[in-house]
Amino acid sequence: MGLFAWIASLFKKKPTTIVVPNIPAVNVITTGGNKVNKYALLVGINKYQEPGNDLQGCVNDVMDMAELLTSEYGFNKDDIRILTDARATQQNILERLEWLVSDTKPGDLLVFHYSGHGAQIRDRKGDELDDHMTEILCPHDLDWDNPFTDDMMAGIIKKTPEGSLFEFFSDSCHSKTQDRGMSQNPHYKKAKRIIPPPDIAWRGQGRGLKVKKFGTKGFNSTESGNVHITDLKDVLLSGCRDEQTSADAFFDGRYNGALTYYLCKSLRKHPASRVENHANVLKGLISGQYDQVTQLSGSSVNINKAPFTL
């Protein structure tokens, strides 16, 4: 190589190798320059203390949701709590919900997914029966005299500050009556229905009482089809209407709740809004010939944002 050629070679740029470190996923997303911390509590109950009430797809539901949140939506495994079967007692659920909402700051996203039995009973205030029904979730150790009511849930949600969001998925039934027949759809294995003891059921019979729904206590609401526009501090996607049951069904060689199965299927497509997600789930239920109609409740602003965003 001549002298001038050697000098010219010194000024040529050499290709640069960039080494990208393996950075672990962080439980933060960015919206408009603001960090959003995300936390989740997932509860799935197949096994109940009361004989004859066991289900089959609820544990699969929450494990599927956990995988989806971590693989598709950037949730950190350390910020997800899971309770299943005998560990999903009322005390443990309430303690984990307190963990979920404790120290919540504006910009935090909180997710609660419940898969199991739900019911409606006559509301009781002290020793007197109130004038309406109340929805309850049914933990493993369900106590009909001390149930997990909408009032308790509303109190938990109210602890969250403005600027945060509580996103609630309820794959359960909220049954007004006990005399509904099981669906003839061959997909059904068992509807998620639990029958109260006769004395509890008697309190709510034949009165046409208004139902207090989970997540709506103390808020105004208007209904448009299966979407309920509210001034809530949370967004609720529930498995069915008041008078319906939610299916515990067989899909792809295993059991799932029908709501959760179609919910995960929709979320993997990253729908543009919660309204679109709701429509996808409803379309799936209809195509599968399920007679349950999923319901969406939340503010007009929140339901028009993408799932798991503020």
Does a structural domain hold residue 175? yes
CA distance 43 to 99: 14
**What was the pLDDT predicted at 46?**
96
Phi/psi of residue 42, each to 5°?
-120, 125
User: Residue 79 is which amino acid?
Assistant: D
| H or E segment to which residue 213 belongs | none
Does a structural domain hold residue 167? yes
**What was the pLDDT predicted at 243?**
72
| H or E segment to which residue 150 belongs | helix 150-157
pLDDT in tens, the chain (310 residues): 554 444 344 444 333 333 333 333 435 444 444 678 999 999 999 999 988 899 999 999 999 999 999 999 999 999 999 999 999 999 999 999 999 999 999 999 999 999 999 888 776 665 445 556 778 899 999 998 899 988 899 899 999 999 999 999 999 875 322 222 233 344 444 555 565 655 555 555 555 545 445 544 433 444 456 999 988 779 999 988 877 888 999 999 999 999 999 999 999 999 999 999 999 999 999 999 998 999 999 999 999 999 999 9
Does a structural domain hold residue 23? no
Hey, which residues are catalytic here? 117, 173
Cα–Cα distances in Å, from 10 out to 15, 17, 209? 13, 19, 87
Q: What is the pTM of this model?
A: 0.78
Task: Write out the residue range of the structural domain in which residue 83 sits.
Answer: 35-303
Cα atoms found within 13 Å of the Cα of residue 309, Cβ hemisphere only: 19
Which CATH number goes with the domain that contains 123?
Answer: 3.40.50.1460
Does a structural domain hold residue 277? yes
CA distance 253 to 77: 27
Does a structural domain hold residue 13? no
Which burial class, exposed, middle or buried, applies to 275 when counting CB atoms under 10 A from its CB (0-12, 13-18, 19+)? middle
CA distance 3 to 89: 83
Does a structural domain hold residue 180? yes
Q: What does DSSP say about strands 234-238 and 295-298: parallel, antiparallel, or unpaired?
A: antiparallel
**What was the pLDDT predicted at 151?**
84
Cα–Cα distances in Å, from 194 out to 110, 279, 289, 299, 308? 28, 28, 22, 31, 30
**What was the pLDDT predicted at 284?**
96
Does a structural domain hold residue 77? yes
pLDDT digits (tens, 9 = 90+) for 161-209: 999 999 999 998 753 222 222 333 444 445 555 656 555 555 555 555 4
Does a structural domain hold residue 114? yes
Q: What is the DSSP string of 151-170?
A: HHHHHHHTTSPTT-EEEEEE
Count of structural domains within the chain: 1
CA distance 215 to 178: 23
